[in-house]
Amino acid sequence: MGKWKTISIREELTNEIEKAIKTGRYRSTSEFVSEAIRLRLEEIMRTKGLLTEKHKMLETPELLLYSPKHTYVQATPEGNFRVGLSEYAAKHLKGIIQVHVDQLDASIKKLEPLGAVETWMFMFDVYSPISGKIVKINENLKTNPRIINEDPYDQGWIVEIKPNNSQTLEEELDSLMAVREYNKWISKLEGRLRE
């Protein structure tokens, strides 16, 4: 389990947060912090050339970050992170019949399995792109697991994870691939498979 770090916040910043909450823009300090994390993620995406000022993080699948295990991560407005299979994986796992996921509140480490997807032919482990705790499971997958095949980025997400801490999160997100990097990686992978 990770160690907690105490972070001191300047009094001026604390006062500004309290003012912002009083104006009604934010309902709580945690909502303010979630917004700050979202803005930082957008800044990371902009530096990678994937996000312009006009775009927001959740608008298109192209703005997600991908792991080499064919999973994606997407920030939610609440400050959690949705995890699902990439479209590439969803297309190759035809006929998903069941999704197995660790239980709520389970602690997950980056690039370790958080569950598995079962097809008629085999099981495919789903690896987490970030570390944290499972706070939400897509219940629709229990009755219709094929949503992953049809709509992996919107309706077919698998779990939401609450990150352990912002410093670890930023390091983990920075190590993931943007869509261009992921597509190049897939091309190389398919090239090796054809050889």
pLDDT digits (tens, 9 = 90+) for 182-193: 888 888 876 665
Overall pTM > 0.75: no
CB atoms within 10 A of CB 17: 17
pLDDT in tens, 95-143: 899 999 999 999 999 999 999 999 888 889 999 999 999 999 999 999 9
In the chain, pLDDT over 70 holds for what percent of residues? 68
Q: Residue 75 in contact with residue 37, Cβ under 8 Å?
A: yes
Confidence band for 61, pLDDT divided at 50, 70 and 90: low
Q: Residue 156 in contact with residue 71, Cβ under 8 Å?
A: no
- State how far Cα 62 lies from the chain centre: 13
CATH code given to domain 58-194: 2.40.50.100
Q: Range with the lowest mean pLDDT among 37-51, 76-90, 169-183?
A: 37-51
Length of the chain: 195
pLDDT score of 16 = 72
N-to-C CA span, the chain: 43
The Cα–Cα gap between 98 and 117 comes to 6
What is the CB-side half-sphere exposure of residue 141 using CA atoms within 13 A?
26
